[in-house]
Amino acid sequence: MIVAKDGRLILRCLSLSYIGILVILPIFALISIVFKNNQAAIWAHITHPHAIYSLKITFFYALCIAIINCITGTATAWVLVRYDFPLKKTMNTLIDLPFAIPTVVTGIMLVTLYGPQSIIGHFFARNGFHIIYNQPGIMLALLFVTFPFVVRAVQPVIIEMEKEMEEAAEALGASPWTIFLKIILPTLSPAILTGTALSFSRALGEFGSIVIVAGNIPMKTQVASVYIYGEVESGNIPGALGISLVLLLLSFSIILLLNIIQKWKRKYEEAK
């Protein structure tokens, strides 16, 4: 519509080849090498107890933190928009900190605080509870890294939400709990789901902070991404292939889910 025809074509070709080489081609390369390799061997690698275990804990902890973030993230966004309290501005700025801090540094931060040589870590260790190089460390790292997703997804929706809607419900005799359940939650749910899905996918793939906080102990703290890294480092390509494919498929399904949520959200917007 805007540019002359040749210009439009050049723009499209350039953009498509960029995304083609950078994103699409690597995916096809991975899939093609799966088909070139002995699939039985790859299957054996996937079903290796270490691999299975790594997938299991990855999925389990991703699910856990997704649920926790869903609640705490929504509450944080709500508090930040609707209430006034000291240090609110600083808090609002610091929400993005986990996005801005390199994951390696996050890992080091957590080890410093909860490691065996620190006061807190020492206290827990005396009671036989180890955080670092153990599964609670995975949990802490993931919670830190994924904290902003739900907050930043829900916050703008609460800002735009008309208070009149709640007031109208109150005038009709609804209790605060009913208002929350029937008015606020349905309005926020697409955003909450989007944020939750994003934090879930980030948790599935997180590497830097976990490798430092939890280490690389098979059958204990070895999550999927750490497992893949180990296999690649030791030159065992078929071993890395299977789990990579599983993670890739999970990523695709999350993107599909995000698209569905997007459509659902649009329906609300049109109704408005």
Partner 1 sequence: MKKQNNPDAQTGKKSLRFMERILITGVFLWFLGLIVVPFCGILKQTFSKNWHQAFASLTSSTALHSFGITIIICIAVAIINTIFGTMLAYMLTRQTFRGQLIIESLLDLPFAVSPVVIGFMLIILFGPNGWMGRIFSFFNIKIIYALPGMIIATLFVTLPFVAKEIIPILRQFGSEQEEAAQVLGASAWQNFRKITLPTIKWGLGYGLTLTIARSIGEFGAVLVVSGNILNKTQSATLYIHDQFTDLNYIGAYSASIILIILSILVINFIQFISKQKAG
Residues 151-170 that bind partner 1 (CB under 8 A): none
CB of 201 to partner 1, least distance (A): 4
Site for partner 1 in 52-111 (CB under 8 A): 72, 75-76, 78-79, 83, 85, 91-111
Residue with smaller CB distance to partner 1, 142 or 189:
142
Encoding tokens for residue 45?
A: 């690698």
Asked if 214 touches partner 1 (CB under 8 A), the answer is no
Residue with smaller CB distance to partner 1, 51 or 95:
95
Contact pick of 42, 132, 189, 206 for partner 1 (by CB under 8 A) = 206
Residue with smaller CB distance to partner 1, 17 or 47:
17
Residue with smaller CB distance to partner 1, 83 or 164:
83
Distance CA 259, CA 111 (A): 37
Contact 226, 234 (CB under 8 A): no
Asked if 172 touches partner 1 (CB under 8 A), the answer is no
Cα–Cα distances in angstroms (integers) from residue 181 to residues 76, 85, 160, 177, 186, in the given order: 18, 25, 18, 6, 7
Residue with smaller CB distance to partner 1, 76 or 221:
76
Asked if 244 touches partner 1 (CB under 8 A), the answer is yes
Cα three-residue angle 161-163-165, rounded to 5 degrees? 85
Asked if 212 touches partner 1 (CB under 8 A), the answer is yes
Asked if 41 touches partner 1 (CB under 8 A), the answer is no
Contact pick of 59, 60, 133, 229 for partner 1 (by CB under 8 A) = 229
Burial label for 109, CB within 10 Å (0-12, 13-18, 19+), is middle
Distance CA 168, CA 161 (A): 13
Residue with smaller CB distance to partner 1, 27 or 52:
27
Asked if 12 touches partner 1 (CB under 8 A), the answer is yes
The footprint of partner 1 on this chain (CB under 8 A) covers a number of residues equal to 87
Q: How many CA atoms lie within 13 A of 10 on its CB side?
A: 5
Burial label for 55, CB within 10 Å (0-12, 13-18, 19+), is buried
CB of 152 to partner 1, least distance (A): 11
What is 183-196 written as a DSSP string?
IIHHHHHHHHHHHH
Cα three-residue angle 22-243-231, rounded to 5 degrees? 90
Distance CA 205, CA 249 (A): 12
Contact pick of 64, 113, 174, 183 for partner 1 (by CB under 8 A) = 113
Stretch that binds partner 1, among 39-47, 127-135, 182-190, 197-205 (CB under 8 A): 197-205
